[in-house]
Amino acid sequence: MTETTDLAAAKPPRKTALAPCGAANATRGARGPARRGKLLRRITPWLFLTAPLVLLITFTYVPVANMVYYSFTDWDGVSPDRNYTGIDNYRQIFTRSELFRVFFVSFYYLAASAVQIVVALYFATVLSFNLRFRNLFKGILFFPYLINGVAIGFVFLYFFQDGGTLDSVLSWFGAEPDHAWLGDPTSANTSLAGVSVWRFTGLNFVLFLGAIQSIPGELYEAAQLDGASRWQQFRHIIAPSIKPVLSLSLILAISGSLAVFEIPYIMTGGATGTETFVIQTVKLAFQFNKTGLASAAAVVLLLIILLITWIQRRLVPDEKVDLV
Amino acid sequence: MTTAPQTRRRGWIGQTLVYLSLVAASLVVLLPLLVVFLTSLKTSEEVADGGTLSLPGNWLNFDNYATAFSDGQMLTAFGNTAFILLFSITGTVIIGSMTAYAIDRFHFKAKKLVMGLFLIATLVPGVTTQVATFQVVNSFGLFDTRWAPILLYMGTDIVSIYIFLQFIRGIPVSVDEAARLDGANSFTIYRKIILPLLKPAIATVVIIKGITVYNDFYIPFLYMPSQEMGTISTALFRFKGPFGAHWENISAGAILVIVPTLIVFLFLQRYIYNGFAQGATK
């Protein structure tokens, strides 16, 4: 065939719709109008890239640029006048306490992320060994991640209701709770963070499981021959292999905690101190028409997330994560 | 992977604890869902009088589902969602595969720049830019149409490009070259050779994109506020107002929304696991 590829070993080339290659065709193609062909060759990739690039620029880069621009104005999103206000918006975000409070709400979700990762790691380790009903458990643990956010919100609204699921289950065990789970900020945030754990642990779990299962079995056998205990196996075989996935999960968890919107918005609308950063940004922009302020808030969030990603890329150099 | 015989005695207690933890976790997962399912089959008196964990009187009471479907405008919502799914998935597959093809098969001067553009875009979480994206969408006059979500889902999906790129790297270039010797131009190669070979990647992208779009609430919520323009997520969300505390109806709505996902999950488990694992590792 041809000698130019080093990937030929991977798959035998399949010529589905074309006739078997003939030498006559080859020479005919090469002698065509060479310059026009060369120009066409040069712009072909761009032809393929036009649509994606246009979409990318229109819906990602233009908004980011505009956002930064808006953050320095006092625009309300609708009227034609837009006054330059310098860094006033940013000053407001960091000084007005009601605006700043949303950062603290993120901490609940950060804590939830930590729980998520630990729980996911535990179950991934446990289910990487041959247990009965392994696939069943795997499916059950992962399924919540696939469920529609609104549906989850309602399921858990009912769960936390007065006399709802949680109260009923607790009364089984004898406790008679008279607690409004979503009534005060601490309890509400904890409950909502709990829903977050319920929802997202499955994804972390599958990622970890994939990483653990890609560890070659001989390592385990060798370790067992050497008399290593389960805990030692975990420490020396599993832990190093899952470092990339672990750091990835940490990044997803942290940026996820900062960008929480769905669950709290659907369940409480951001009331009773459960307002998250994104909820507040959305309200500022679309309810109170403070586009400038909302843009500044969004820029701050973006910078924080970029910073965290950058830190992660430095601490754990970007190794290609091949799980499949 | 079985425990060696000499550790079996010590492992017996450990094994039981492990199974217990698995069962407990399963209960934590299943109980809220089960309760909502039971509630959806109750009448409003049963909901008001009985406890949460009581069983419905008539297991075939589908009234709530009927109400949810008609009053909750779920039919329109399913239709809108299907429309959006069709176009955004098709668009994503075409655009993603074209991008991957261009990046992997061609060498051009600005290639690194283009790849950089896509990579940097992955760092920007979509939620943060919506304030400004809204203005862009509005200026195109697409606010409150179904095309706003479609374009947004197509334009901000880097994951699918990554998946296609990974896959196309495994297709040997010799295939292209053989075709070129037969006089095929790049587009023909793309259409007749690369696309068919990309089928597994396409399947993966279809599934995870489909699930992500189906479950998305944020974008339809921001961009399609009117009643007729509901998607599954927003239509369900609107249940809260008119149905008040009629949990039997709300539960029916929630179950209606969850069931398709469950069915897809049961049939396509392996694809789903692989797909989300690949998607997350971008």
Tens digit of each residue's pLDDT (9 = 90 or more) over A214-227: 778 787 788 888 88
Q: For residue A155, list chain B residues with Cβ-Cβ distance below 8 A.
A: 32-33, 36, 254
Instruction: State both tokens at B76.
Output: 């329109």
Q: Identify the closest residue of chain A to B34 by CA–CA distance.
A: A155
Q: How many CB pairs under 8 A join A and B?
A: 319
Distance CA B169, CA A2 (A): 17
DSSP letter for each residue of A240-262: HHTHHHHHHHHHHHHHHHHT--H
| Average pLDDT over every residue of A185-201 | 89
Burial per residue of B18-41, b for 16 or more beta-carbon CB atoms within 10 angstroms, e otherwise: beeebeebbeebebbbebbbbbbb
Name residues whose C-beta falls within 8 Å of residue A308's C-beta, 6 or more positions apart in sequence.
A251, A254, A255
Q: What is the pLDDT of residue B281?
A: 65
CB A298 within 8 A of CB B128: yes
| Average pLDDT over every residue of B157-181 | 83
Looking at per-residue confidence, does A241 or A321 come out higher?
Answer: A241
Out of B30, B39, B190, closest to residue A158 by CB: B39
Q: What is the pLDDT of residue A46?
A: 81
Q: How far is CA B7 from the centre of its chain?
A: 44
User: Taking a contact as any Cβ pair under 8 Å apart, which residues of chain A between 28 and 67 contact chain B?
Assistant: 28-29, 40-42, 44-46, 48-49, 51-53, 55-64, 66-67
How confident is residue B238, by pLDDT bands cut at 50, 70 and 90? confident
Q: Does A4 touch chain B (CB under 8 A)?
A: yes
Percent of chain B with pLDDT over 90: 8
Looking at per-residue confidence, does B133 or A323 come out higher?
Answer: B133
CB contact under 8 A, A55 and B95: yes
ipTM: 0.83
Out of B181, B190, B281, closest to residue A25 by CB: B181
CB A166 within 8 A of CB A181: yes
Distance CA A152, CA A262 (A): 10
Distance CA A261, CA A297 (A): 14
How confident is residue A18, by pLDDT bands cut at 50, 70 and 90? very low
| Average pLDDT over every residue of A119-125 | 90
Closest by alpha carbon to A243, among A129, A127, A321?
A321
Q: Identify the closest residue of chain A to B40 by CA–CA distance.
A: A155
Cα first-last separation, chain A: 30
Distance CA B258, CA A147 (A): 6
Does the pLDDT at position B211 exceed 60?
A: yes
Highest mean pLDDT among A57-61, A82-86, A137-141: A137-141
Q: For residue B181, list chain A residues with Cβ-Cβ distance below 8 A.
A: 21, 25-26, 29
How confident is residue A12, by pLDDT bands cut at 50, 70 and 90? very low
Q: For residue A8, list chain B residues with Cβ-Cβ distance below 8 A.
A: 172, 174
Q: For residue A117, list chain B residues with Cβ-Cβ distance below 8 A.
A: none
Q: How far is B7 from chain A (nearest CA, A)?
A: 9
How confident is residue A20, by pLDDT bands cut at 50, 70 and 90? very low
pLDDT digits (tens, 9 = 90+) for B72-112: 778 888 889 999 999 999 999 988 888 888 888 887 778 88
Largest CA distance in chain B: 77
Burial per residue of A63-92, b for 16 or more beta-carbon CB atoms within 10 angstroms, e otherwise: bbebbeebbbbbbebeeeebeebeebbbeb
CB contact under 8 A, A148 and B26: no
**Torsion-angle region of residue A179: left (phi > 0), alpha (psi -120 to 50) or beta?**
beta
